[in-house]
């Protein structure tokens, strides 16, 4: 696991009372990708990280507070990810900040997040009633892995392989609600539903579930966990098309949903029930 002890991550911090874009804390993606032998200049996948911020508030010119939900789409080829607590602190710095309208707020968020990520980040703002309409809670039509009656005895990511059937090609969506990983800074648990849409040799579901559960004690950021899973699926199963999406539950009013694809991506425009 990459070592982040040389950063300010995990330090005690005060919540700001004034707007401060400098609160956003970038972390170089390459630090985690070095562990996976990935070079950012030649990524073996495409994708993005979809951040949802549920605790966004600011002041109108007349002093009346406003609230909204923001979605940040960060390209997977951006040099940096943003540490999630720093985003919470940054968003809280807007609580007493006067902004003329939502368009001005959108431009402000895009400018600050893009500067920290080192790439163009898009922001969509939703009023609460809009978010419920445009982002309904739903489940895709797929196969859940979680009710298999199998023995599990490994809870740390290791050299478990994922088996695939030679010669039998399928197109299917598999998912599990049992993915748990851990923050590399605080060791707090992070819970997610993982979706695997693919075309290629049929993946053995028992070995896949054992592999996913082996992340239960693994420490890494959300984005890097999804990249590790994507690389292992490519290595062991050799699909022609693959999309891996993790829908993590929110922590600190923010959820992070990385998606990585090889070939045309299969978009998941829904929220999972725990979100």
Within its chain, how far is the Cα of 153 from the centroid?
Answer: 27
Q: Max Cα separation, the chain?
A: 67
End-to-end CA distance of the chain: 28
- What residues have CB less than 8 Å from 52, skipping those under 6 apart? 69, 70, 71, 72, 250, 254, 255, 257, 275
Phi, psi of 196 (to 5 degrees): -125, 110
| Catalytic residue flag (residue 98) | no
| Catalytic residue flag (residue 237) | no
Choosing from 124, 183, 220, 232, which is the catalytic residue? 183
Residue in the structure block whose two tokens are 């539903």: 193
The pairing of strands 164-182 and 143-144 is parallel
CA distance 63 to 68: 16
Choosing from 49, 112, 190, 232, which is the catalytic residue? 190
- Is the four-CA dihedral 146, 226, 249, 48 of positive or negative sign? negative
CA distance 197 to 243: 5
DSSP state of 250: P
Catalytically active residues are: 183, 190
């Amino acid at each position: 696991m990459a070592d982040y002890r040389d950063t300010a991550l995990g330090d005690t911090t005060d919540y700001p009372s004034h707007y401060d874009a400098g609160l956003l804390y970038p972390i170089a993606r390459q630090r985690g990708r070095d562990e996976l032998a990935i070079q950012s200049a030649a990524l073996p996948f495409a994708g993005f990280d979809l951040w949802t911020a549920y605790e966004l508030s600011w002041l109108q010119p007349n002093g009346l507070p406003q609230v909204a939900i923001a979605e940040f789409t960060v390209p997977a080829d951006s040099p940096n990810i943003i540490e999630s607590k720093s985003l919470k602190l940054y968003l809280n710095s807007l609580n007493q900040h006067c902004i003329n309208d939502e368009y001005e707020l959108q431009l402000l968020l895009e400018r600050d997040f893009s500067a920290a990520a080192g790439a163009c980040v898009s922001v969509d703002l939703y009023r609460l009633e809009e978010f419920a309409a445009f982002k309904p809670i739903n489940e895709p039509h797929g196969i859940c892995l979680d009710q298999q009656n199998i023995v599990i005895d490994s809870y740390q990511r290791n050299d478990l392989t994922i088996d695939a059937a030679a010669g039998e090609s399928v197109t299917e969506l598999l998912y599990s609600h049992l993915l748990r990983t851990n923050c590399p800074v605080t060791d707090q648990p992070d819970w997610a539903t993982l979706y695997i849409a693919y075309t290629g040799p049929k993946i053995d579901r028992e070995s896949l579930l054992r592999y996913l559960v082996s992340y239960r004690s693994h420490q890494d950021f959300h984005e890097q966990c999804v990249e590790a899973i994507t690389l292992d699926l490519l290595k062991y199963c050799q699909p022609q098309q693959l999309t891996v999406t993790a829908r993590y539950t929110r922590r600190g009013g923010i959820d992070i949903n990385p998606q990585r694809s090889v070939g045309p991506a299969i978009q998941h425009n829904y929220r999972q029930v725990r979100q």
